[in-house]
Structures are given as C-alpha cells and as structure tokens.
Amino acid sequence: MVVICLALNSTKFYAQNESNDNTIKNIIKVATEVRFKNIENSVKFLKTEFEKYIEKGDTISSVKLLIEIANNFSHGANYNKAYDYYWKALLLADEAKNEELKALLFVRIGRLYAFYRRKDIAIDYLNNSIAIRKNLIKKGIETSEVLVENYYEKLKTYRELKEFELAEKCLDSCLFYYNDASIIHRKQIQVEEAILLSEEHKLKQAEDLLLDAIPWFKDKDPSYCVLVNTLLGDVYAKDNDLSHCRFYYEKALETSRKYNAHIDFTPLIYEKLAKISIRENNFYEAYKNTETAKELDALFFDSRSENNRPLLEIKDSFRTVRQTQEEVFKEQEIKKLKQDDEILLLHRVILLIIVISILIIGLVYLWSVKVQHKTEKQIIRKNRKKEIKKAKEALELRNKELASFALQLAEKDEFLRQLKSKLKTGQDDISIREIKQLTNSITISNVKSWQEFKLRFTSVNNKFYKKLTTDYPNLSQRDQKICALIKLNISSKKMANLLGISVESVHTIRYRLRKKLEITSEVNLEEFISSL
C-alpha cells in the first residue's frame, strides 16, 4: 500500500524554525486553503510570492516557498514537477549553507523515490537527513525530537515496502525521541502503529487507534483523512465487515475530491472497492472500479506516463547540475589543496632556509663576539698585568726611597744624638740655656722628620695602612711605626738606631707586636706584614 504525506508537517516545521517569520507562515496557510479548492491557483500564488522573496535576496524564505510549491504538486500526484522544485530548493539551501532545510529536503526527495520502489536511493536520502540532523543536535542547533520526523518517514517507507520488522524498529525510534515539541504529532505515529497492528491481525486494537485519531486529523489536517479512512476500510475488509469497509473507502474518495489531496492514492482505493464488489458478486461495479484504478495508476505510476517518465529515468537536470557542480567543486578543491600543499612546502623550505641562515649568522656572530671578547680579555689581562707590574715597580721604588729616607733619618738621628751628647758635656763657654734650645730644636726636628716619614709612607702604602689600622685598631703609634719599617725591610739593628733603642728592645717590641697581630711563632712576621 502506497501512503504519502509530504506536506503535512511543513507548517509545523516552519513554526519551529526561528528564521521563518509570520509572513511566510501566513502565505503557506493561505496557499493550503487555496489548494483544497484548486492546486494550480495555489501554485501560482506561491510562485508569485517566491519571486518577491528572490528579488529581496531572502534565500531561506524562498527555499520554504519552493518546498511548499513542490508539496502542492505532490498532492496533485505530479511527482515530476514536485521532484524538480524539491531539487531547486535543495540547490538554494545548499548555496545558503542551511543544513536544517537540506535535511528536510532529503526527507522529501527520499520519499519520492520510495513511491517508485527505488528503495536503496530512498533509504540513502533518509539516512543522510538523519546524519545531518544528528550533527546539528550535536552542535546544539537542533534538539533530539526533530529526529521523530526522520524515523516516521522511514517507518512509512519500510511499511510500504512490506519490511515490517524494520518498520517496527523505526516506530520504536519515533516513540523514543517523541515529546510534545516534536514536529510529528502522536496521532500521526498512532496511525502507523495501527497499520502494523493490522498486519499482525490485531484488528480491534488497530480499529480503536484509527477511530481515536480521526477527530484530531479532521481538526488539524482534514486532507489526511483520505489515508486514515482507507486504513479503516482495510481493517474492516480483513474483519469481513464489508458495509463498513465500503463506507470508509468511499469516504476516503470523497475527502480526496473535497481537498484535492492524495489523488495518487485513489487508484489503490478503486482497486480495493473492486475487490469488495467481487466479494459482493457485483461484477459490473468491480469492472468499472478496476478500469478506473488502471487509468489512474498509469497516470501516476506507469513508466509510460509522459508525466512521470522523466522522474523514473532520473533525467533531472537539477540533479545533473548538482552532481556536475559537486564534481567541479571537488576537482577545484583537489587542485586548490595541491596548490596549497605546494605553496606550504615552498613556504616551509624558505622558512627552513631562513632559519638555518639565521642560525649560521647567529653562530658566526656569537663566535666572533666570543673571539673578540676573548681577545679583549687577553688585552685587558696583559694591560692589567703591566699596570700591576708598573705599580709594583713604582711601589718598590718609592718604598726604596722611603727606606733610604728612613736610613737617612737614622743616620741623622744618630748624628744628632752624638751631637746632643757632646753638647751636654761641652765646654763652659756655651751657656746652659743655649744648649737646651739647641737640644729642643734637635728633638722637634726629629719628630717632624718622623711625621714627614709617616705622610710619605701612608701616601705610598695607603691600602696597607688602612687595612692595618682597620683590622688592628689596638696598635699604638710605635707599633704602626714598627710595621711600616718591617714593610720597608728595615733590619732590627737599623730599627734600633732609628728608634733610639737597643736591638733587644726591638726584639721585645716585635714579640709584643705578634701577640697584638694574633700570629704564632711559626708565621714569618715580615711575610705576614708584607701580605697586608
């Protein structure tokens, strides 16, 4: 049994899609009302509106109007034109990159192939629609109840192809994803459930479900009652209730004429009426119904029909264009990818050369800097050694001068002591007062000489003197003088002459100096002082 319902859910689909405005929904509503009276007028009205939206550049609204035009042709069993308009809509939806509309159009096109028993192509389109919608659900663009429509259409396809086990699985999926927000209403699923129960000869359950669904369809989509009434007739036929069976078949034909809907379904209804007439022994009526059924079937489904031959032979220009576009696009993409790969490879080679060049330049620069730095360090080290050597030589020279100066002081002091001694024991013609003045001047001169020595010594050995006074603040002036003389390598004997004391006294001073400097007897005093 062939059952179609391509346009039933279009208005609901648009209501759920945020991009559709109230104007589009009102246009579709008006077109549906006009279709019930005259399909051609409905199509003409929709085409006029379509042209307006195309001029506005509103692709999405244009696609929805094309779908509604195709739905009208489908209701009129003009599947060739329906197929053409679905493909026009698909090309626009693809251009607009609207995956929601593409998923809907795959369902529509898949169902058209199912009518002609093109099972593999039909299932491919339906499965592709499911794949698109699952991806949209994953991205959060759609919600899971949208899948109810897909499994509902697959359910009808498998049921029409008499593959009832697969139909049962699709029914379970419909019920699994169903909620109040679903595009497909529970009453629609209920009708399919009744058909499957009828196939299992659970006729009472099937009858109850169908009778329960009729009021909803009369209110929401009266044209679909063509299918529901036919199904009720089938149930009564299986139950041998021929009067009810004929009543619902005739009611289905009446509804089809009234709403200009599902006229492709009428050949099957006439065949069923013919069978009922035979069972009632009304052979003339059976003959008439059979002839009507053949004429309508040839019009809608026979491959000899001029109306449907292009579709059955898949001579659809839009599909050819689409396939050609996809092939050209793939070739361009492959060519572009190859070019991109070549460009990327060239960029990588150039980048590698630049990086290697930078590394080489960097290494050469670092090496040159290192060599220059090393050379500069060697030069600085040599200059520093020279300076240190010169400073040491200058220091030694000045220390020698100081030592000479100290020796001169020693000789001077020795001379002055002798002179002083002689003056004290001199002749009487020199007065005592004159002798005292002379000795005092000698003493003052001696003190000044040592002060001059100290100034000269500290200016030459400034660091030594500072370290000595800082590290050993408890040293007396005599101790500092002894350290200075030791620094100048003055012998103990000469120190004794300079200081006017005995050599033993010098040794005693040196011993006390060791204690103040806190050094043991194993440490050489001259070397220790020289190291300061």
Express each pLDDT in 127-176 by its tens digit.
999 999 999 999 999 999 999 999 999 999 999 899 999 999 999 999 99
Q: How far apart are CA 501 and CA 532, in angstroms?
A: 26
Of the candidate ranges 54-68, 125-139, 407-421, the one whose mean pLDDT is the lowest? 407-421
**Reported confidence tier of residue 16, pLDDT bands at 50, 70, 90:** very low
Vertex 52: Cα angle to 46 and 53 (nearest 5): 90
Would you state the pLDDT for residue 18?
Answer: 47
Most confident of 209-218, 252-261, 430-439: 209-218
pLDDT in tens, 448-501: 666 666 666 777 777 887 888 888 888 888 888 888 888 888 888 878 877 778
Q: Per the structure block, which two tokens stand in for 332?
A: 């361009």
- Would you state the pLDDT for residue 290? 86
pLDDT at 426: 57
Greatest mean pLDDT among 13-22, 162-171, 348-357: 162-171
pLDDT level of residue 1 (50, 70, 90 thresholds): very low
For position 17, what pLDDT does the model report? 45
pLDDT at residue 144 in the model: 92
- Would you state the pLDDT for residue 292? 84
Give 260-271 pLDDT, tens digit per residue. Answer: 888 777 888 988
Chosen CATH of 10-184 out of 2.40.30.10, 1.25.40.10, 1.10.760.10, 2.40.50.140? 1.25.40.10
Which residue did the predictor score with more confidence, 331 or 466?
466
Q: How remote is the C-alpha of 233 from its chain's centroid?
A: 60
Say yes or no to pLDDT of 437 above 80: no
Q: Picking from 104-108, 156-160, 360-364, 460-464, which range would have the lowest pLDDT averaged per residue?
A: 460-464
Instruction: Return the percentage of the chain with pLDDT > 70, whole number.
Output: 77
What pLDDT was estimated at residue 130?
94
* Residue-level pLDDT at 376: 81
Q: Is the pLDDT of residue 2 over 50?
A: no
Task: Output the pLDDT for position 259.
Answer: 85
Q: What local confidence, expressed as pLDDT, does residue 526 receive?
A: 83
User: Considering only CA atoms, which of 289, 236, 243 is closest in space to residue 266?
Assistant: 289
- Report, as an integer, the average pLDDT of 98-124: 90
DSSP code string of 294-320: HHHHHHHT-TT-TTTHHHHTT--HHHH
Split at pLDDT 50, 70, 90, the class of 322 is low
Of all residues in the chain, the percent with pLDDT exceeding 90 is 28
Rounded CA separation 306/302 (Å): 9
Q: Answer whether 163's CB lies under 8 Å from 144's CB.
A: no
Distance CA 280, CA 454 (A): 155
- Those residues whose C-beta lies under 8 Å from the C-beta of residue 135, and which sit 6 or more positions away, are 99
Mean pLDDT for 19-48 is 83
Q: Cβ neighbours of residue 12 under 8 Å, at least 6 residues apart?
A: 183
What confidence score (pLDDT) does residue 154 get?
Answer: 94
Q: Produce one character per residue of 2-34: b if its CB has 16 or more CB atoms within 10 Å, e if not.
A: bbbbbbbbbbbbbebbeebeeebeebbeebbeb
Across 39-46, average pLDDT: 90
pLDDT (0 to 100) of residue 402: 62
Q: What pLDDT sits at residue 131?
A: 95
> At 116, is the pLDDT very low, low, confident or very high (cuts 50, 70, 90)?
confident
Least confident of 194-198, 436-440, 479-483: 436-440
- Distance separating the N- and C-terminal Cα atoms of the chain: 120
pLDDT (0 to 100) of residue 462: 76
Predicted local confidence at residue 415, as pLDDT: 62
Mean confidence (pLDDT) of the chain: 80
**Of the spans 11-15, 142-146, 500-504, which averages the highest pLDDT?**
142-146
- pLDDT of 193 > 50? The answer is yes
User: How many CA atoms, within 13 angstroms, populate the side-chain half-sphere of residue 428?
Assistant: 0
Predicted local confidence at residue 145, as pLDDT: 92
Is the pLDDT higher at 65 or at 413? Answer: 65
Cβ atoms of 270 and 245 closer than 8 Å? no
Q: With residue 152 as reference, give the H or E element that holds it.
A: helix 147-160
Whether residue 71 is predicted with pLDDT greater than 80 in this model: the reply is: yes
pLDDT digits (tens, 9 = 90+) for 201-250: 999 999 999 999 999 999 988 988 999 999 999 999 999 998 999 999 99
| Three-state SS annotation for 333-394 | HHHHHHHHHHHHHHHHHHHHHHHHHHHHHHHHHHHHHHHHHHHHHHHHHHHHHHHHHHHHHH
How many helices (DSSP H) and strands (DSSP E) are in the chain? 23, 0
| Mean pLDDT of the 253-257 span | 90
pLDDT given for residue 284 in this prediction: 84
- The pLDDT assigned to 398 comes to 62
